[in-house]
Structure 1
């Protein structure tokens, strides 16, 4: 669905572009004297400065208007990579896009982030291709099934969770064994991973249950910088000194756009769920990663600790001097240097995949 803006919202792009340009110049100047709490390279330091200004200055609707949809980005990626685009229509208006051989032994269903309001950018599809290639190099096969869900505020919770469950339902309907299926997601997509795991163990009252056959378990779930506490303010933390690509300014508009008029619950805010909620999650292993310089790190650390208290097979990894969702957004900005978090996700997949 195309986003429509008022004339005032369109005219607002002019001063917004000016402020974003100034942020880039400021990033150049301040980047000459970086600390450990800031990006490793000047290029990334400038890129993060621009991203901070863009996400703080523009509304979700303005950003959607100015960026191509997930579907178009996938089609562009497929053309450039010279592969056949393979898109599946799912329930509740969602779409799924295949990257890699859909007959691969293992499948990772990926839920992209972006505060529920931004489409998947090219960095996602580059990252998916890296995952597929890494498994191939290790003599294992993997395909990624990327969900395109309806962005907020066009639709609000629980629509996106219904669509996330629909993606899992579709993959299971192909006859695959659950122990060859992985869930993956970053930021808001990590929230959807936690929501799907919650639904599998505790069916959501507004979503059709999805029982796994013969009490089976999924192979694993990987969450990069999961956003599992939708408070409208991020907790203050000393480690944030311009080393991340988001700021507290995004919390209120993004969370509010997703929640809409619905009450928050354990499916939207797994960080607030009781420890007992985690115990019956039907998954063999869970990986949670975060960036050492990201503003969400306190939330991620607290979330991982509670998760592990209720579900022992959880691993936490923090990438030194990395920002929010660095494995994907660094690629989006044009830096192909492998991140510690990305390397960890790849090694974790190689270990667990059949």
Structure 2
């Protein structure tokens, strides 16, 4: 199960040749993107950043062509941490997984983060870690401080379901064993990280026999934040302005779905689970904040899920739709050096601060 033994498929010379041809086109694509309708109203830096993502996600590359290496998340975390003058703090939690702390290790109030990337890519330093550090610093000013920690999990397709759920459950066991109270634990995830959070909540409600049971909670989690949650594998019917091509969501689903039994499908695709599946969610988590980009592919799926079964079970649910926002709008703003400027980001900061200030 160790991530040290993870290896991506070999890339054929034809795939490498195609990749070279694609990359040669990238500069022209980025320049054209500066004047495209999809980037209307954005700065040149943000337009360039979004254009790169649109280009890469629409090329039809195989998983091996992305060149992900074993231990990629650890390497990214350690480089980023030292660059920002922070201490490298990592907990080995078993199951081939790790928890990486941002700032001080503390167990009185904790935000546990599951990063996005389709469960097949490592954490992104600029977008995800930059966002987490900014949020942590804001909470330092408005609360008594919060410990931030994120999970390093194994990647699909080499490590199939329920590997990532098993690792998320190990993270929860580790934190609770070290004294974290569920009522002071906020679980946050972006895209597939939000999917993984939903998997964990499903495991609490419907224990999956293949893995260890979730630890007894006693009290519900303080809250959950879903940033552009990836909750449906149905090909999007809209989202031409999104920075992830619709077919890229199909690509990520193709890495995750092989080998999953029909009875297990609700764990990985929350939108199809049905209202009955989510009964009791209010006893698992006290409050939920979800965000969706106005023009992202998953917008309609997110709205239906959040305003449907989630809100029915957790009345203290807030949905923030980011105007003209793409997938993970506020995170990609950090990657372009423009993080922390939107109203939606500050709404998330306030919501999170209020949650921790009510923690008991």
Is the CA contact (8 Å cut-off) linking 1:19 and 1:53 kept in structure 2? no
Is the CA contact (8 Å cut-off) linking 2:173 and 2:215 kept in structure 1? no
Match of 1:183 in 2: 187
Q: Larger deviation: 301-310 or 176-185?
A: 301-310
- Of the candidates 319, 327, 332, which is equivalent to residue 329 of structure 1? 332
Match of 1:262 in 2: 260
Residue 204 of structure 1 and its aligned partner are, at CA, apart by 1.4
Match of 2:228 in 1: 225
Residue 254 of structure 1 and its aligned partner are, at CA, apart by 0.8
Residue 241 of structure 1 and its aligned partner are, at CA, apart by 4.1
CA RMSD, Structure 1 to Structure 2 (Å): 2.1
| Superposed CA offset, 1:100-135 (max 9, x none) | 221253111111111122211112111111121111
Match of 1:309 in 2: 312
Q: Larger deviation: 308-317 or 130-139?
A: 308-317
Instruction: Output aligned runs, 1:333-352, within 5 Å.
Output: 333-352=336-355
1:162 matched to 2:166: yes
TM-score scaled by length of structure 2: 0.89
- Of the candidates 39, 48, 51, which is equivalent to residue 49 of structure 1? 51
Is the CA contact (8 Å cut-off) linking 2:204 and 2:214 kept in structure 1? yes
337 and 43 in structure 1: CA distance in 2 versus 1, 3 angstrom threshold: farther
Q: Residues of 1 paired with 2:31 and 2:332: CA distance? A: 20
Is the CA contact (8 Å cut-off) linking 2:143 and 2:353 kept in structure 1? no
Residue 334 of structure 1 and its aligned partner are, at CA, apart by 3.0
1:128 matched to 2:160: no
Instruction: Output aligned runs, 1:1-354, within 5 Å.
Output: 1-8=6-13, 9-30=15-36, 34=37, 38=40, 40-57=42-59, 58-65=61-68, 69-103=72-106, 105-122=108-125, 123-213=127-217, 215-231=218-234, 233-234=235-236, 236-237=237-238, 240-242=239-241, 244-263=242-261, 265-281=265-281, 282-306=284-308, 307-353=310-356, 354=359
Q: Residues of 2 paired with 1:68 and 1:291: CA distance? A: 31
Is the CA contact (8 Å cut-off) linking 2:286 and 2:316 kept in structure 1? yes
Q: Residues of 1 paired with 2:204 and 2:71: CA distance? A: 32
Question: Could you list the runs of 5+ residues in structure 1 that have no partner in the other structure?
Answer: none
| Superposed CA offset, 1:71-111 (max 9, x none) | 11111111111111011112221111001221253111111
Q: Residues of 2 paired with 1:258 and 1:129: CA distance? A: 29
Q: How many residues align?
A: 344
Q: Residues of 1 paired with 2:172 and 2:67: CA distance? A: 26
